[in-house]
Structures are given as structure tokens and as C-alpha cells.
């Protein structure tokens, strides 16, 4: 998992033990057409130089054990690049020179952004390393656990006391719960908290802390009713709703389209909100249909446009959500295609039957 001290552990061990740490630094992402070198070629060149550096001195008594540390793995989400990466690792494993290669793999890095079915996902170690590594005794897989609540509390209390920050016990517990075992994230959140007013003020729990995943009609209601606090800020932000959707964002946007009109009071509000919806559709259609980010952007723009409308005075009344008419239209279209196909098939059968009848009659006359 992220934020549990993987990289820090390797660096501390290299200092406390006779290790020579050689660390891979991810190259700059600035695009230079004249001097461009493929990232995978740079990675292979780095490994070759690191493995063969000071090879003649490695058997001396005072020489340090060579450790090649790869904390930031190159992007291997395309099949060809992944095959090249596997080939490089296999060659390193079969090199006769003694060295230790440490790859740091984070759960956050291995997971796709929105778990869409057509996303390329790296779900386990086999996707990142060659399959034969699973049975090779020279390869070890060390899995670290997330930082537990006790250790997280001790670490954060040390920071709080050292920096003279005031934080109540409830606030600290909320911070620990939302960090989900990620100590780095907890410290970063604590830093943001310290920049605010140091006096304790009772804060509302965020939408993410209150509830778990939403069902479909609850999520639609969160957007269309757009309930607000006393200071007119939204109780549920679009970003939080998006993270808790039970379905594909594009399909959720379709439900919003179907049910939003009854929540407007005047045509000006409709026009303003539908400008956002048109912009959202443009964003979605201008990019690749397999691009998950475009789907997320479309849903965010749609939700922002619908939630920023003036609050309706009768917004608390019950409204029965309806499924999109698009489903009925798609069903009718599929039924029509099926009927057309059946008619064409029956016509072809009738034609063949008539042809066979004519051929039989001709044979009878000949006979």
C-alpha cells in the first residue's frame, strides 16, 4: 500500500548496512523532438551501467553490496512496452554479476483510475513482473501492511507536539480514519490543517466521512435536490458523489438528463444549466470513447451545471425518479432490427423454397 514506508525502509537499510544504493531517477517528461530517447531504452541503459559499475572490485572484502533501487517504475500499460520490461528484468536476473534489484510497487499505482472494464489495469505482481518470477527462488516478494491506527496515532502526535499544533482527539481520529493506513497522506493532511486557524472550531463531517457508497437514486437525488448548508455551500460536492457512484459515469449522466427538468423554476435556469450539459457532451464526444477520464470530466461538468442552479422553493417535495427514455428507444431499435432480420431471413427461405420447387418441377417434366 502507499504511504507505509517502503522507500524509506530501503534507504534506511542501505545506510545501516554495507549497501551501495544506486537509485533510478525517472527522466524529465519534457518533450524534446531532437533529443528524444524512449523511456524503456533509458531504463535498460541505466540497469546495464549500474550492474557493471565497479565490477572488478565487488569481490573485495571492503566492497559494498550493490543494490539497484527502482522506486518509480516506467509506464508499462501497453503490451509491447510491458514485454520489453519483462525482457529487461529476465536479462537482469540471469546476469552472472552479483547485485540486488529492489522494485517498489504501490497498490495505488497498480489500480486504474476508475475501474472501467476496458481500462488497462495492473492487478497483481504477475502483470508487472514475468510469470516465471513467481516460481524462481531468486525472486522474493515482500508485502508490507498499511500503518495501523496505534502507530499512526503515535507518529502524528509526535508531529503535533513538535510543531505546537492544536487538534482535538476527534479531529485526530477523523484524520487517521480518512488516511486509511497511509502515513504520508495523513502528514500531508495535517500540514494543510496546520495552515488554518489554530483555534479549535467544530467542523461538519465531510460527505465522504458520513456515508459509504451510494445507490443509484440516492446519488441522483444528491445532484438534483442540491441541498445546501446555512452558508449556501453544497452539502454534497460533485467530486464526492462521483467517487461513490454505483455505476458508469456516462450512464449516471443519462439518468440526470432524464429527471432534471422538473427541478427548474424558469427557462433561464434551464438554458444556463443545459449549456453545461452541452459542454459536457462535447468533451465526451471529442475524445476517445475508451478514455475513462473524458467520462469523469463529463459527469463532473454535468453535476456542476445542475447543482449550481437557483434552489427551488419546493425542492423538499418527493419526486419519483424515472429511468431514461433512451432504454425504451434502444429496446425498440433492437426489436425492429430483430424483426427486420427475421423478415429478411423468411424472405430468403421463401425464395430458396420456390427455387427448389421450380427445380423439382423441371426434373419431373424431364422425367
pLDDT one-digit tens code per residue, 149-194? 889 899 998 888 887 787 888 888 888 887 778 888 888 888 877 7
Q: Which CATH number fits domain 149-203: 3.10.450, 1.10.8, 2.30.30, 1.10.12?
A: 1.10.8
Query: Which residues share a beta bridge with 102?
Result: 69
Grid-cell match 427475421, residue found: 342
pTM of the complete model beyond 0.95: no
H or E segment to which residue 355 belongs: helix 325-366
Q: What's the pLDDT score for residue 121?
A: 42
In degrees and rounded to multiples of 5, residue 71 shows phi and psi of: -90, -25
pLDDT of the residue at 108 = 47
The phi and psi torsions of 206 (rounded to 5 degrees) equal -75, 165
Distance from C-alpha of 247 to C-alpha of 241, rounded to nearest angstrom? 12
pLDDT for the residue numbered 303: 92
What mean pLDDT, rounded, does the chain reach?
78
Nearest one of 349, 270, 363 to 308, comparing CA atoms: 270
pLDDT, mean of residues 1-17:
84
pLDDT at 115: 43
* pLDDT band, very low/low/confident/very high, at 366 (cuts 50, 70, 90): low
Q: How far apart are CA 263 and CA 227, in angstroms?
A: 12
State how far the Cα of 198 lies from the Cα of 203, in Å rounded to an integer.
13
Give the lowest-confidence range in 110-124, 220-234, 257-271: 110-124
Across 239-243, 261-265, 283-287, 331-335, least confident range: 283-287
Percent pLDDT > 90 in the chain is 2
For residues 83-87, average pLDDT: 89
Would you say residue 112 has pLDDT above 70?
A: no
Q: Average pLDDT in the 92-117 region?
A: 68
Amino acid at each position: 500500500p502507499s504511504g507505509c514506508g517502503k522507500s524509506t525502509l530501503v534507504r534506511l537499510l542501505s545506510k545501516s548496512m554495507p549497501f551501495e544504493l544506486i537509485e533510478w531517477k525517472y527522466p524529465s517528461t519534457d518533450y524534446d523532438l531532437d533529443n528524444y530517447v524512449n523511456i524503456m531504452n533509458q531504463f535498460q541503459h541505466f540497469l546495464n551501467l549500474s550492474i557493471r559499475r565497479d565490477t572488478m572490485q565487488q569481490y573485495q572484502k571492503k566492497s559494498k553490496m550493490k543494490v539497484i533501487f527502482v522506486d518509480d517504475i516506467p509506464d508499462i500499460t501497453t503490451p509491447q512496452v510491458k514485454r520489453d520490461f519483462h525482457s529487461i528484468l529476465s536479462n537482469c536476473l540471469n546476469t552472472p554479476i552479483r547485485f540486488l534489484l529492489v522494485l517498489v510497487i504501490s497498490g495505488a499505482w497498480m489500480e486504474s483510475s476508475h475501474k472501467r472494464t476496458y481500462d488497462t489495469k495492473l492487478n497483481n505482481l504477475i502483470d508487472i513482473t514475468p510469470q516465471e518470477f513467481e516460481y524462481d527462488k531468486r525472486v522474493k516478494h515482500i508485502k508490507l501492511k498499511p500503518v495501523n491506527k496505534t502507530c499512526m496515532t503515535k507518529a502524528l502526535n509526535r508531529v503535533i507536539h513538535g510543531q505546537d499544533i492544536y487538534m482535538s482527539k476527534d479531529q485526530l481520529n477523523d484524520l487517521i480514519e480518512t488516511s486509511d493506513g497511509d502515513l504520508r497522506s495523513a502528514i500531508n493532511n495535517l500540514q494543510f490543517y496546520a495552515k488554518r486557524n489554530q483555534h479549535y472550531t467544530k467542523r461538519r463531517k465531510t460527505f465522504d466521512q458520513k456515508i459509504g457508497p451510494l445507490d443509484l437514486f440516492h446519488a441522483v437525488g444528491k445532484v438534483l435536490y442540491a441541498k445546501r448548508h446555512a452558508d449556501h455551500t453544497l452539502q454534497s460536492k460533485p467530486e464526492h458523489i462521483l467517487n461513490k457512484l454505483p455505476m458508469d459515469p456516462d450512464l449516471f449522466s443519462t439518468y440526470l438528463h432524464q429527471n432534471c427538468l422538473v427541478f427548474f423554476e424558469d427557462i433561464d435556469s434551464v438554458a444556463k444549466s443545459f449549456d453545461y450539459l452541452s459542454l459536457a457532451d462535447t468533451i465526451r464526444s471529442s475524445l476517445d470513447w475508451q478514455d475513462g477520464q473524458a467520462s469523469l470530466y463529463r459527469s463532473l461538468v454535468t453535476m456542476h451545471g445542475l447543482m449550481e442552479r437557483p434552489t427551488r422553493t419546493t425542492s423538499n417535495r418527493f419526486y419519483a425518479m424515472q429511468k431514461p427514455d433512451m432504454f425504451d428507444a434502444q429496446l425498440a431499435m433492437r426489436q425492429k432490427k430483430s424483426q427486420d432480420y427475421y423478415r429478411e431471413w423468411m424472405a430468403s427461405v421463401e425464395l430458396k423454397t420456390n427455387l427448389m420447387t421450380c427445380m423439382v418441377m423441371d426434373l419431373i417434366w424431364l422425367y
